[in-house]
Amino acid sequence: MWKHIASNALTFLIVTLFLVGGVIAWGTAEYSAEGPLENAICLKVQSGSNMRLVSEDLAERDAISSPAIFRMGVDYSDKSALLKAGSFLVPAGASMEEIAEIVTRGGQNTCGTEVVYRVAVNRLSAQVRELDPAEGEFEELVRFDIEEGVEAPEDYLRTRQDDDTQYRIVVSEGVTSWQVVQALNALDVLADDATEIPPEGMLAPDSYEVQPGDSVKALLAQMQAKQERILADAWAGRAEGLPLESPEEALILASIIEKEASTSDERFDVASVFVNRLNEGMRLQTDPTVIYGITEGKGVLGRGLRQSELRAATPWNTYVIQGLPETPIANPGRGSIEAALNPSDSDYLFFVAKTLDPRDGHNFAATLDEHNRNVALYRQLEAERDAVQDN
C-alpha cells in the first residue's frame, strides 16, 4: 500500500511541476508577446506611484492583458524599484516587457504637454507643445518671445498651472555665458537666481529637463560639469601635432569655430583654416573675436564693425594679437570642440561666405589669389543686392 501511495504522490508531484512549468512558460511568453494596445497612448506616472497602480492603469486602457503577469514579469526582471515618474509614450502593440522598459529606463519624458524654453544668441523664447500619441508628432499650442514687461499668453499661463506639464531648456550653441545666465534668471520656472557668471565657454549647449523651482545655480553647475566631460573626452582623442597646448586652448579655438562655421558640415574645414594659420604663425583675423572685445559677451553688437574697431587692441582682437584670444568668445557645442581637436587635413588658409545667406556656408582657399577671387564673387553679390534695393 505504501508503495502505491508513494507512486501516486510522485505522479502528482510530476504533474504539478509540469503544470507549474507550463504556467511559467505561458506567462513568460505572454509577458514578451505583442500587446493588445491598438493606438499609442501617453502614460503618466505620478511621483510616488508604484507598479500596481501603473499595471491597473495600463489594464484599464487595454494596453496589457494581465496586470498580474505584468507585475510578476517586472519583479522577475528586478525592475520593480526602478519605476520613474513622468509621461511616457507607449506605442501600439507594445509588449508588457517593452512597457516595463519604457517606464523604468528614465531619461526625458516622451509625451504630454511640454514647455520648451530656447536660449538663443539674440532671443529668449518659449514654446508650448503637446504630443499627439496617435500621430507621434508634437502640436504647437503657442510660441512667443519672453521679454521684460510683456505678459505671457494665456495658453502659457494656463499650462504653467498644470502639475503634469514638463519643462525643458534648450541652450543654443554659440551663446555666451552672460547670455545664458540672464536668460535662466528670467525664466519663471526656475528659482535661486545666479549672480556670478561662469567662465566663458564652460557651459555645454544642450537640452536640459527641469522641474518648477529648480535652482538656476544648480542647472549652471550641471551644464559646466557636462562641458568638462565633453572637453576631456575630445582632448583625449585629439589628433597629433596640433598647435594647442591644453584643453583650455582647444576650447578657445572651438568657440571661434562655433561663431564662424555656418553649417555643421564645414566645422572641420573652418577648424583646419585656423589650425593652419596657427602653424604658419599667421594671425587668425576673425571678426567674432573683435565683436567679443567690444561687448565682452554681454549682448549683441547689432551693427557692422568699424575700421577703428578692427585696429583696436583688446585681449580678443585677432586682427591685432598673435595666436589665440585669452578666453573663449562663446560656449561651443560638442561638434565644434571635436572639430578643433580633429580638423580636416587641408591646406586652407582663407574662407569667405559663398552667398549673402550665411546658411549657405563658405568658399575655402589655400592661396591669397584664390581667396581674392572668392571675395570678388561675394562683393559682386553685395553690389547686385544694393542695386536692387536702390531701385
Domain borders along the chain are: 29-110, 113-231, 239-348
pLDDT reported for residue 86: 78
The confidence score (pLDDT) of residue 233 equals 97
Return the CATH number of 29-110, one of 3.60.15.10, 2.60.40.3080, 2.40.50.180, 3.30.1490.480: 3.30.1490.480
Give the C-alpha separation, 308 to 288, whole Å: 15
Which residues are 117's β-sheet partners? 126, 169
Residues of the chain with pLDDT under 50: 2-4, 6, 9-10, 13, 15, 17-20
pLDDT of amino acid 161: 82
Buried b (16+ CB within 10 A) or exposed e, 42-80: bbbbeeeeebeebbebbbeeebbeebebbbbbbeeeebe
Count, residues in the chain? 391
Burial class (CB in 10 A: 0-12, 13-18, 19+), 365: buried
What DSSP element (H or E) covers 166?
strand 166-171
Residue 110 near residue 88, CB atoms below 8 Å: yes
DSSP conformation letters of 84-103 = --EEEEE-TT--HHHHHHHH
Output the pTM of the full model: 0.79
Using CA atoms, how far apart are residues 259 and 174, in angstroms rounded to an integer?
Answer: 6
**Angle ∠(301,303,307) on CA atoms, nearest 5:** 100
Residues 8 and 15: their CA atoms lie apart, in Å, by 10
pLDDT of residue 17: 45
E runs forming strands in 260-357? 350-353
C-alpha cell at 130: 503637446
| pLDDT value at residue 388 | 81
For residue 377, the model assigns a pLDDT of: 93
Note the pLDDT of residue 77: 85
- Within 10 Å of residue 14's Cβ, how many Cβ atoms? 10
